Amino acid sequence: MPTLLMTRPEESSQRFAARMGAVPVVISPLIGISFVEKAPEVRDGEHYVLTSAHAVAAISALGLPKRPAWCVGAATARAAEAAGLPARSADGDADALVAAIVHSEETAPLLHLHGAYTRGDVTGRLSAAGLTTRGAVAYLQPEQALSEVAQALTGCVVVPVFSPRTARIFAENWHGRARLYLVALSEAVAEPLRQIVAEEICVTARPDAEAMLEATEAAWARASRLEAGQGAAID
């Protein structure tokens, strides 16, 4: 049976792996998560813009007030609602989030809580569209190396990769000999992975968690057939 190698932070990896069912899993986070020492200021009337569930965790950890939140996707929206925040999901990526907010009737000032590393210039694009928006770093994302357990994996290994930064770190760190099935959330994520020798690199149909799950399950099925000697690695 193939192994699922998760490289997201621990909690995110566990949640995704649980949705894959009873499969062998190795978790080796390439990015750690820690919260800033000084909580960002939240001004009167501001609503949140959240591009990661880590921002939701930061709101709770830093004791920030509960405000309505625009969320990049369903997973972040679910985390926000569980934390007591009224949430609206753009069901996509940064582009979908910006478009949803711009085309809404939102009039509140916006605070984009994000990590030290961020992509998509959400704050700048919302400001350019005429919305009162500012950004603040709420959490840090230090790089981490792949574990020895991950490097020593053999056979077929399915690796879902969710961000260009994680893809770059993985490509720079990987020196294992397993047969890799890499699943990228977008073409931008796939690009750094192309320097790795892999059985396949596939890109999800949409840049969201559901599409990643579907693509990872499909890659798992192909890897399973290869290990069972029942056919080629790619349909």
Domains in the chain: boundaries: 3-32+144-227, 34-140
- The residues facing 112 across adjacent strands are 49, 135
Q: What is the pLDDT of residue 31?
A: 94
Same fold, 3-32+144-227 and 34-140: yes
Q: Which helix (H) or strand (E) holds 97?
A: helix 94-102
CATH fold group of domain 3-32+144-227: Rossmann fold (3.40.50)
Q: What is the pLDDT of residue 230?
A: 52
The helices-and-strands tally (H runs, E runs) of the chain is: 9, 11
Q: What's the CA angle centered on 205, arms 140 and 217, to 5 degrees?
A: 80
Q: What is the pLDDT of residue 232?
A: 41
Q: What is the pLDDT of residue 124?
A: 97
Q: What's the CA angle centered on 214, arms 208 and 215, to 5 degrees?
A: 90
Phi first, then psi: give them for residue 159, nearest 5 degrees. Answer: -125, 100
pTM for the model: 0.77
d(CA 64, CA 38): 11
Domain formed by 34-140, architecture: 3-Layer(aba) Sandwich (3.40)
Q: What is the pLDDT of residue 235?
A: 35
β-pairing verdict for 34-35 and 133-140: antiparallel
Q: Can you give the pLDDT of all 235 residues of the chain as single tens digits?
A: 999 999 999 988 999 999 999 999 999 999 999 999 999 999 999 999 999 999 999 999 999 999 999 999 988 999 999 999 999 999 888 899 999 999 998 999 999 999 999 888 999 999 999 999 999 999 999 999 999 999 999 999 999 999 999 999 999 999 999 999 999 999 999 999 999 999 999 999 988 888 999 999 999 999 999 888 754 433 3
- The residues facing 156 across adjacent strands are 179
> DSSP letter at 29?
-
d(CA 176, CA 152): 6
Q: What is the pLDDT of residue 75?
A: 86
Whether residue 67 contacts residue 87, with contact meaning beta carbons closer than 8 Å, is answered with no
